[in-house]
Amino acid sequence: MLSKAKRKIYARKMREFWIDFSHNKIGFAGLVILFFFIFAAIFAPVLAPENPIHQKRVAARYAVPEWLTIFSPELQNEPPTIFYPLNATIAPENSSCQEVSVHYPQGSQFALAYYNEESSSNGTVLYIFDFKFNYTYEKPPAWSIEAHWQANFNNLSYRIELYFRSPKGSEWIIWGKDYDIVTRRVIVLPQMWNLRDGSLRVESGSTYLKRRLYYEDFYQKLLPYYLEKYSFINITFPREFVAFTEKGFKNFTSRQSLQSVEDPDQMIENPIYTYYKNLKQKGETNLTWIEYWETWTTSEDYNLTWNTISEFVHERWEKWVSAFMLPQLTVYVDENVTATNTIYLAWYRGYKILGTDTPYNSVPWEEIATILNLTISEELANYTVIDLLDIYQSDISNATEANPAYQRWINLPENVTISWDDYWKLWVDIQYYTGRTAFFNRYLKSIRLGPEIAEEYAKKEAYNFAATSPTPTYYLATKGTQTIRLHLYVIPKGKDANLTITFRRSRFTVWGARHGLLGTNSFGFDVWTQLVHGARISLVVGSLAALISTFLGIFFGVLAGYVGGIADEITMRIVDVLLCLPVLPLLLALSSYFKPNVYYLVIIIAIFGWQGLSRVIRSRVLTLRELPFIESARASGASSSYLLIRHLIPNVFPIAMASLVLSVPGAILTEAALSFLGFGDPFAPTWGKMLHEAQSEGSFHALAWWYIVPPGLAITFLCVAFVFIGHALDEIVNPRLRRRR
């Protein structure tokens, strides 16, 4: 493209420039620092293999870096993170060994089968299993135990208790629960909603399609179907449903409006209750009517921190959602019940909160459609169900690599996602109706639930539970062989009582007090990973934003300076307007109201960043335009584009280069400031986000300097590197600062 002579000239120019630059100590130092960051950014997956967005817990909260043991050797006694698999042995105190057949099927730890032929109950049978492991460190800051088992049983109930036995022999119970009937709740989808004119509206969550489902459908088809299948039904209704009035039915205009229940003149009976009463009188059913009373409170006195979000969501979610979202028909299906089969038919409004011990199956939409003789449309198949788990039960170890942050408090089956738009709509609705931001709702990226949820939950029959010790004072206080003892009580209730229970993948985890190169943050995530991957985002964001804004600056500057006239006026007015907008507050408002994404941020920073450069370039072009060589070139017949490309822009380039390099730290700092305030992209592992988490998670009080100092230092050095380089460039290129005389 270029002639050989030209190439030689450029090569020589580059060499001279490089000599100038490398003699400038400051600039060279900046370049060296920048080189380290680029190295870290490129080799981030090698330096820190863990996925920074979907991090897993690796140690206790605020674990110290490992290399601190050089400076304080007593840290050697603090435990690292250890996983003890729980392999059971039958305890010597086992009371009924002869009835146990314990075997170790492939892939699981152990299984137990119990069978009792007798018709009368023989009383409670107790099986005891011991899980032993050796622990020789100091008390850990946190531990957790997970037990997964799957139980198929009939005609009995069983109880599991977990005890902790110290090496000295003292015993404390960790957890215990009865399992009487396997309650599986089936959610009938999509949601059904009471219209005031006596019909039920069936809506599928995200697309909000409406489908009318009349009471007759419910009374004459759904209810009889389940009544026939199961002979015992519990029906529960929320209070709002009870309080609908006939007058309200007819005057219904806005769906948010509800009649107060304190208006007794206007109460009529719940039509389903009427139906029930008829059935009961005729003796055609042994339904039990249970009314579920919700109480409304409007005192929003919850302090929304990470730790209270679960209670907040627990208590409030149903209320708001049930008021403004759509009711849901929930069908509880009991299998393996004692005397009779039981079905819970709950007319429940809103999203049901699940506990971890109640897994549920969903009735396929096809079944409902068949019963009601409806046709399934594409959209109706997209129903939305959201489960909310208590945040403290976050150590579910069967989470896979796809375990984004929201699964800490929203438990979803694997491979199930909601689209961002659906969730955003949901979140906006909730925010709208409550006036508050559930702070960590931002962390919800994509949850899409579709028909596959039915299959997923149909397969899931395991019970999970996780317990963490609140006060590790007595657990693991004595060094030596620790024992976890499992008591399994089996209470047969009738003939042919049988139980098959399989324990798999259970483990006891000691969360270490020391870990890794830079310790952990308040969630137990590795800090080094975030640091190294943050380099990528900072570099990319800074460079891109600076590049785009420089390009815009050159473009508008040359446009204003060369073309002049009306283009000049318009450009200068635009520059004035943009200069007069407060950048940071506007950025905050924009990212708070619209989806915060790193690349939108780049564009917005670039939009606000080009004015200074354009002014400088404009004045330079104005002076250049009057120079004699331009005039002579034009007299020789040069076109405008020739002048621009060959003369003006190359002359403007040095200033633009210096400005480019000097505007990168501004962009990096803006992005860091935004993330620090909490308005950045919640999924980008930036340094600003680390600082934000440091501040909001209380690492100041914990003096967790390994979480606070590294990202700040990284930002500092990156910005300083660019400033040094830019300053050197400025000195070389800017004629004003050259030494005269």
Residues that bind other proteins (CB under 8 A): 26, 253-254, 256-261, 296, 298, 300, 323-324, 428, 431-437, 439, 573, 576-577, 579-586, 588-590, 592-593, 665, 669, 672-673, 676-679, 691, 694-695, 700-701, 703, 705, 708-709, 712-713, 715-716, 719-720, 722-724, 727, 736-737, 740-741
How far is the C-alpha of 703 from the C-alpha of 696, rounded, in Å? 13
Least CB distance from residue 718 to other proteins, whole Å?
9
Least CB distance from residue 379 to other proteins, whole Å?
21
Residue 67 or 427 with smaller CB distance to other proteins: 427
Residue 14 or 32 with smaller CB distance to other proteins: 32
Residue 258 or 540 with smaller CB distance to other proteins: 258
Residue 217 or 422 with smaller CB distance to other proteins: 422
How far is the C-alpha of 463 from the C-alpha of 450, rounded, in Å? 23
Least CB distance from residue 582 to other proteins, whole Å?
4
Least CB distance from residue 450 to other proteins, whole Å?
25
Residue 451 or 712 with smaller CB distance to other proteins: 712
CA distances from 277 to 159, 272, 431, 477 (A): 37, 8, 40, 60
Least CB distance from residue 544 to other proteins, whole Å?
19
Least CB distance from residue 238 to other proteins, whole Å?
13
Question: How wide is the angle at C-alpha 156 spanned by C-alphas 155 and 158, nearest 5°?
Answer: 155
Q: What DSSP designation does 446 have?
A: -
Residue 331 or 601 with smaller CB distance to other proteins: 601
Residue 108 or 266 with smaller CB distance to other proteins: 266
Query: Could you give the count of Cα atoms lying within 13 Å of 155 in the half-sphere of its Cβ?
Result: 16
Residue 10 or 36 with smaller CB distance to other proteins: 36
Q: In the block, which residue shows the tokens 């435990």? A: 79
Least CB distance from residue 673 to other proteins, whole Å?
6
Of 475, 701, 525, 514, nearest in space to 74 by CA: 514
How far is the C-alpha of 387 from the C-alpha of 498, rounded, in Å? 32
Least CB distance from residue 659 to other proteins, whole Å?
15
254: burial class by Cβ within 10 Å (0-12, 13-18, 19+)?
Answer: exposed
Residue 136 or 253 with smaller CB distance to other proteins: 253
The 10 Å Cβ neighbour count of residue 619 is 13
Residue 282 or 701 with smaller CB distance to other proteins: 701
Who contacts 339 (Cβ-Cβ below 8 Å, separation ≥6)?
494
3-class DSSP state of 325: coil
Least CB distance from residue 241 to other proteins, whole Å?
14
Residue 336 or 699 with smaller CB distance to other proteins: 699
CB 486 within 8 A of CB 101: no
Residue 57 or 442 with smaller CB distance to other proteins: 442
Residue 223 or 531 with smaller CB distance to other proteins: 531
- Indicate if the alpha-carbon torsion angle 554, 555, 560, 561 is positive or negative: positive
Q: Could you please report the per-residue DSSP string of 74-96?
A: GGGGS---EEEE--EEE-TT-S-
Amino acid identity at 54: H
Least CB distance from residue 36 to other proteins, whole Å?
16
Least CB distance from residue 354 to other proteins, whole Å?
25
Phi, psi of 491 (to 5 degrees): -115, 95
Strand order in the sheet with 232-238: 288-292, 232-238, 342-349, 327-335, 182-187, 360-362
Least CB distance from residue 551 to other proteins, whole Å?
23
Residue 387 or 697 with smaller CB distance to other proteins: 697
Question: How wide is the angle at C-alpha 223 spanned by C-alphas 222 and 228, nearest 5°?
Answer: 105
How far is the C-alpha of 107 from the C-alpha of 258, rounded, in Å? 55
List, as own/partner pairs, every contact residues 180-183 make where C-beta atoms lie below 8 angstroms and the sequence separation is at least 24, other chains included: 180/338, 181/157, 181/334, 181/336, 181/337, 181/338, 181/342, 182/151, 182/153, 182/334, 182/335, 182/336, 182/337, 183/332, 183/334, 183/344, 183/358
Query: Could you give the count of Cα atoms lying within 13 Å of 219 in the half-sphere of its Cβ?
Result: 15
CB 317 within 8 A of CB 170: no
Least CB distance from residue 713 to other proteins, whole Å?
8
Read off the tokens for 227. 């009544």
Phi, psi of 434 (to 5 degrees): -110, -20
Residue 4 or 736 with smaller CB distance to other proteins: 736
Cis amide bond preceding 190, omega within 30: yes
Residue 436 or 495 with smaller CB distance to other proteins: 436
Cα 429 vs. chain centroid, distance in angstroms?
19
Least CB distance from residue 220 to other proteins, whole Å?
32
Phi, psi of 173 (to 5 degrees): -85, 135
Least CB distance from residue 615 to other proteins, whole Å?
12
Cα 366 vs. chain centroid, distance in angstroms?
31
Who contacts 477 (Cβ-Cβ below 8 Å, separation ≥6)?
139, 166
Least CB distance from residue 577 to other proteins, whole Å?
5
